[in-house]
Structure 1
Amino acid sequence: MGNRVFVVGVGMTKFEKPGSREGWDYPDMVREAGTAALNDADVSYDQIEQVFVGFVYGDSCSGQRAAYELGLSGVPIVNVNNNCATGSTALYLGAEAVRGGRADCVLALGFEKMQMGSLSAMYTDRSGPLDKHMEVLARKYEPQNPFAPYMFGAAAREHMELYGSTPEHYAKIGEKNHRHSVNNPYAQFQDEYTLQEVLDSRTIYEPLTKLQCSPTSDGSGAVVLVSEDFVRRHGLADQAIEILGQAMVTDLPESLGVSAISAIGSDMSRKAAELVFEQAGRTIHEVDVIELHDCFSANELLTYEALGLCAVGEGHKLVENRETTYGGRWVVNPSGGLISKGHPLGATGLAQCSELTWQLRGTADKRQVEGAQLALQHNIGLGGAVVVTLYQKAEI
């Protein structure tokens, strides 16, 4: 694994509906989130040796334009784009720089300034990154726009056919995550809904309704990553959170086979989780709190199985037994998740890291998972990449 890596500062903006804050451009977002992370770490920008900036929709070198709001120091700034896993990819690259001994103090930033409406292809004169994935899905389920809920809805249908999950199971996940977000001041939505209201909201692609789908969002997140030596020299042990294990995995042969569940990334999520637990010498049963990629409620249920919370085909049983909310075996998405907190693509992975850092520090206020000692993060992007990260309070 190389050198130990620690999170010592986190920050994020409130996630917002695009256009809801007049004049709020991406440099403003990054200045807000980045300044918060630097202040949290008690680190100045001139101590940062490398910067990794994630965004999906934007011009080349927007990462530099964003980071320049924090200072002009001449350090390397790398622009990162890995679809919805962009934020955690910036985190992964920053951690790799520290892990490999190339830097002692690194900043990972992510932002997104999104267009209203569902995600759509930006370029129509070339092959799309999801062409082959869509071919797999289209063999079983008639394609429909918008493409994202179609893909995850198709995976839910396959699970229903194979294992007996029902539309109500997916709706219960939406109800849970909206309920969790009530206590999150950073969440785009902070409204609680009954299960019936979730079921009765507009159908996007069966079995998914509107209240089971993540919204388009504007926002930013930031994380300061440092070495063990930096923690010791600057007296940061009390606030440091160690990355015990981390893995990035891209599509496997199964991803382009015959399964809709595999096409939306379950196999690469499973592989990444296995690598992380092997690195750390820990198991999923030791984890207390999880932030996972619930772009749609279907993906949360399928990710339960991919991360090993239960056997394949039994994710809906965790829902029935309330095992993934407060009072259950794990608390999954205490932030409200992507469904309710919001999903500015480049910022999502860093917001997940921020939430888990607050949970392990014991500073998550009304969202706090009592006695949280071990935290797991899962962030996926179709086309594809997944990053899984395991954290614990530093022992130095």
Structure 2
Amino acid sequence: MNTHTSASWTGALARRSLRLGAAAVFVLGAPAFAQEAKPLKIGVLTDMSSLYADVTGKGSLVATQMAVEDFNAAGKPLKIEVLHADHQNKADVAASIARKWIDQDGVDVIVDVPNSAVALAVGNIVREKNKVMLASGPSSSDLTGKSCSPNTIHWTYDTYALATGAATAVVESGGKTWFTLTADYAFGHAMEQDVKNVVTRTGGKVIGNVRAPLNTQDFSSFLLQAQASKAQVVGLINAGGDTINSIKQAVEFGIPAGGQRLVATVLYITDVHSLGLKVAQGLQFTEAFYWDLNDDTRAWTKRFVPRNEGRYPSALHAGAYASVLHYLRAASAVGSSTDGAAVVAKMKELPTDDPLFRKGSIRVDGRKLHPMYLFQVKTPAESKYPWDYYNVVKTIPAEQVWRPLSEGGCSLVKL
């Protein structure tokens, strides 16, 4: 696999299955970076062709490019290149790309990195090479726990926050007994434990569990076990295409119609779009972003959609944009992108502020802090315009939704 540089990235954007590619240099260097002959290089390492392609993929590349453009338009332009690659949801492939990018192509920061197993592998390489990983796509809370790093920022969400929001609301509304269907890899394992902890803490009980392979097409045997358990709640601990397929098949098996409550612990707007409101209506879940939250999110979305083939942004696209924008501000303040740990330290020092997540901060363990939202999918009758899919049930303040520093086991935390 060879990464190539091109003066035009628009054609590469259209080829969803393209494994490796690059975007153009954006503008002349700022004075603070004048001593560096090379441009600052951003690598968007993502899923361009599989189950997370809709929620990350091309949209994460577009969001990254928008962050570069918006940063440079703000008055301190840098010489920047954006590259991209498809990691195929394989940790070894992702690690190989990351090493080549850093060693041969001079990449300073790797962005997006959906799939927690991939992110954990890439995070080790980035730390070894003293570069930066902006983990806007993966969700494992281990990234700010036992696997925390002075070179990683975990931006959008994590398994602890998702479990805290959704599971607490469901148990408090009467869903006391749970059966969990879990994606069998790092994200699923972390979320499974977080869900169990939250359910138990709030007075419920997980009475059964089954694990399914990543990107499976047939959930019938797993769903039959969930149905037979008689649990009040069937918790789907998966994401992307796995969530879509498991919800569709659960409806076909009559699980919701039979009185069991279906809870998606991770749900993206692209999933709801694929499912349709008739199938997805009523689902409650926790998320960090929705395009229709306020005037700022709507204005940004209006710019994003035409560049993403008419598809609206997921929270992970928003995370890619906001994390890159903050990284560029920090790198500019440091005056160099060479020392990744120094840029990450500056990212933690500077308050965050962008149109999608607004004001926030980054903790010592690398956890980006912002409110989360409990959403409920609208009924077809409630939806009034394209992609009008969510009602906000409640806003969950940052101090309530993120794991306390004392509980994560991060070596960077001095208690």
When normalised by structure 2's length, the TM-score is: 0.27
Larger radius of gyration: 2
When normalised by structure 1's length, the TM-score is: 0.28
Q: Which has the higher contact order (CA 8 A, sep 6+)?
A: 1
